Chains A and B, each alone.
Chain A
Amino acid sequence: MKCDEAKGLLPEYLTGELSDDQDQAIRDHIGRCNSCGAEFARMRSVARLISMGSTVSPPDSYFSRFPGKVMKRINISTSPQRRPRHYRYLRQAIFVSGVAALALVLLFIWPNDHFDTPGPIARRPIPTEFLVINGPSDEELLSLLGSLDLSETGATVDLLYNADPWEALPDMSDEELEIVLTEILQET
Chain B
Amino acid sequence: MPADEELLRRARDNDTNAFEQLVRRYMRQVYATCFAVVNSHFDADDAAQQTFIAAYTKLSTFEGRSSFGTWLIRIAVNQSRTILRRRKSRAFIGLVDDPPDPRPDILSELSARRDERNLKEAVLRLPEKQRLSVVLRLNQGLPFARISEILSISEGAARTNYHYGIQKIMRDISKAENNDNGGN
Most chain B CB inside 10 Å of its own CB: which residue of A15, A46, A77: A46
- Interface residues of A, count at CB 8 A: 33
A77 with B53: in contact, given A53-B32, A56-B32 (CB under 8 Å)? yes
Secondary structure at the B interface, as helix, strand, loop or mixed, is helix
> What chain B residues lie within 8 Å of A57 (beta carbons)?
28, 31-32, 110
> What chain B residues lie within 8 Å of A77 (beta carbons)?
53, 57
Secondary structure at the A interface, as helix, strand, loop or mixed, is helix
Query: Cβ of B170 and Cβ of A43 under 8 Å apart?
Result: yes
A59 with B170: in contact, given A66-B23, A77-B57 (CB under 8 Å)? no
Which among A39, A49, A73 is the interface contact of B49 at CB below 8 angstroms? Answer: A73
Most chain A CB inside 10 Å of its own CB: which residue of B31, B41, B173: B31
> What chain A residues lie within 8 Å of B120 (beta carbons)?
54-56
A73 with B32: in contact, given A54-B116, A58-B106 (CB under 8 Å)? no
Contact bitstring A1-42, B, C-beta under 8 A = 1, else 0: 000000000111011010000000000000000000001001
Looking at the complex, which of B68-76, B80-88, B159-167 is the stretch in contact with chain A? B159-167
Looking at the complex, which of B1-9, B92-100, B131-139 is the stretch in contact with chain A? B131-139
> What chain B residues lie within 8 Å of A39 (beta carbons)?
170
A67 with B23: in contact, given A53-B28, A57-B28 (CB under 8 Å)? yes
A-side interface residues toward B, CB under 8 Å? Answer: 10-12, 14-15, 17, 39, 42-43, 46-47, 49-51, 53-59, 62-63, 66-67, 69-71, 73-75, 77-78
Can you list 11 A-B contacts (CB < 8 A)?
A15-B138, A15-B162, A46-B119, A55-B123, A55-B139, A56-B32, A67-B20, A67-B27, A70-B23, A77-B57, A78-B56
